[in-house]
Amino acid sequence: MNRLFRLFAYSSLTQCTHWNDNHDNKGEVIPVTVCVAAICGPGTVFGASDRMLTAGDVQFEPTQPKIWQLTTSIAVMVAGDSSLQVEILQAVGKDVKTRIEAEPTNWWMVKDAAELYSQHYCEIRCKRSQRTILSRFGLDHGTFISRQQQMSEVLVRQLATELIKFSMPSVSAIFAGVDPAGTHIYVADDANIECLDTVGFAAIGIGRWHANSQFMFAEHDGRKPYPETLLLTYAAKKRAEVSPGVGEGTDMFAIGPFLGSYINISPEAVDELERMYQATREEERKASVKANREVNRFFEKLLTAASAKEQEIAPKESGGNPPANQERIRNVAEESKPEDEPCES
C-alpha cells in the first residue's frame, strides 16, 4: 500500500491548470462507455473512466484519456453522443475560463458548473429545433410567437407539436469536485441535474448498472476511508467491463480535500490498483470454489437423509429400490459437481 501512495503522490506532477479550448479529446465521448465517481472522507472524490470510443459503427480504444478537467477543482466525465457533448462542453469551458480569468479568486461551485451544462444543452436544443423545424418557413422562435395570428391554427399547432417533441441524442455527464461548500457529485442526464452527494457515488454509460452494483454491495457512502474508496472506484470500473462496449483502459483522478487539488492518478498507480484488484478476484474465486464444495457436501447429506426416509415408507412391492424421482435427483447432483476442483491453498 505504501508503494501505491508513493506512485499516487508522484502523479501530481501531471496535473493541469484550467480548461483548454483546444482540448485534444473532441468527439471521444460515446454511449458505449462507463464513468464512475465516489466521495470519501475526508472530503475527497475519486473518478474513473474507460477510453472506448465509437465512430459510426466502429469501436476503438485510443490511448488518450477522456476525463475533462474543467478547473483545478472540478472534473467532468461524459457519455453519449460525441458531437453533441463536444458542442456543449466547448460552450461550458469557454464560460468557465472567462470567469476564471476575470475573477481568479471566485471559485466555481460544482452545482453551478453542472447547471451551466444544462443551460447550454437547452440552448443547443433550441437552435437545432429552430434550424430543423422553423427555418423551413423562414421563422425563428421569436417570429413563430409574434406571427402566430398570421398563420393558420393547424400550422401553428403542428409546428408547436414538432417543437415540443423535438429530440436530440441522449447525453449524460458526471461533475465531480470540491468547492467552498464541500465535496460534490452531480449527474446531468440531458438537461436534468441530480445531486448525488448523499448517495456518495455515481456512474453513467452502458456499464453503469454493474458499477453501481459494486458500490452498493460494498455498502459505500461518503464516510468510507480514502484507500478503500480508491480501490473500490477502480473495482467498480473493472466490473463494468463485462458490458459490451466498455473498454479495458482505465484513467483516474482525485480531487480534494483542498481547493485546487486536482490530480491525475498516474498509470503506475493504476497498474498497482490492477494488481490489487486481480489478487482480490483470485481470493473471491477460491472462496467460491470452497463454498461450492461445501454446498455439494451439504446437498449430499440432504439427499441421503431424504433417500433413507423414502426407503422407510416405500411399499414392499417396490422391492426396496429407491423411487424413480430420487434417482433423477441423484443424477442431477452428480452432473452438477465440478469436474476439476483446484486444491485449497
Q: What is the CATH number of the domain that holds 144?
A: 3.60.20.10
Pick the last residue of a domain from 265, 299, 319: 265
Q: Does some domain include residue 272?
A: no
> From residue 170, how far is each of 26, 191, 309 by CA, in Å?
17, 10, 61
Q: Does some domain include residue 227?
A: yes
pLDDT at 345: 43
| 61 contacts 70 by C-beta, under 8 angstroms | no
User: Are 253 and 295 members of one domain?
Assistant: no
Percentage of the chain exceeding pLDDT 90: 64
User: Are 211 and 294 members of one domain?
Assistant: no
How high does pLDDT run on average in the chain? 84
pLDDT at 15: 36
User: Are 17 and 126 members of one domain?
Assistant: yes
Q: Collapsing DSSP states into helix, strand and coil, what is residue 50?
A: coil
Q: Does some domain include residue 292?
A: yes
Q: Is the pLDDT confidence value at 22 over 60? A: no
pLDDT at 56: 44
Q: Is the pLDDT confidence value at 323 over 70? A: no
CA atoms of 39 and 49, how far apart (whole Å) = 15
pLDDT at 318: 53
Confidence of residue 304 (pLDDT cuts 50, 70, 90): confident
| 46 contacts 254 by C-beta, under 8 angstroms | yes
User: Are 183 and 311 members of one domain?
Assistant: no
Pick the last residue of a domain from 203, 230, 265: 265
CA-based nearest residue to 108, from 184, 51, 38: 184
Q: Is the pLDDT confidence value at 177 over 80? A: yes
User: Are 169 and 294 members of one domain?
Assistant: no
User: Are 284 and 200 members of one domain?
Assistant: no
Q: Does some domain include residue 271?
A: no
Exposure class string for 282-301: b at 16+ Cβ within 10 A, else e: eeeeeeeeeeeeeeeeeeee
Q: Does some domain include residue 344?
A: no
CA atoms of 212 and 228, how far apart (whole Å) = 16
User: Are 169 and 302 members of one domain?
Assistant: no
User: Are 307 and 199 members of one domain?
Assistant: no
Q: Is the pLDDT confidence value at 320 over 90? A: no
Q: Which of left, alpha, beta for 205 (phi over 0: left; psi -120 to 50: alpha)? A: left
CA atoms of 335 and 270, how far apart (whole Å) = 42
User: Are 309 and 253 members of one domain?
Assistant: no
How many domains does one find in the chain?
2
Q: Collapsing DSSP states into helix, strand and coil, what is residue 306?
A: helix
CA atoms of 327 and 26, how far apart (whole Å) = 64
Tens of pLDDT, residue by residue over 211-241, are: 999 999 999 999 999 999 999 999 999 999 9
Exposure class string for 243-270: b at 16+ Cβ within 10 A, else e: bebbbebbbbbbbbeeeebbbbbbeebb
| 225 contacts 43 by C-beta, under 8 angstroms | no
CB atoms within 10 A of CB 55: 11
Q: Does some domain include residue 270?
A: no
User: Are 247 and 293 members of one domain?
Assistant: no
Confidence of residue 281 (pLDDT cuts 50, 70, 90): very high
| 228 contacts 240 by C-beta, under 8 angstroms | no
Q: Is the pLDDT confidence value at 77 over 90? A: yes
User: Are 193 and 331 members of one domain?
Assistant: no
CA atoms of 288 and 297, how far apart (whole Å) = 14
Q: Does some domain include residue 342?
A: no
Q: What's the pTM?
A: 0.79
Q: Does some domain include residue 142?
A: yes
User: Are 312 and 187 members of one domain?
Assistant: no
Range of the domain at 61: 2-265
Pick the last residue of a domain from 265, 297, 314: 265
pLDDT at 3: 44
Tens of pLDDT, residue by residue over 87-105, are: 999 999 999 999 999 999 9
What's the full length of the chain, in residues? 345
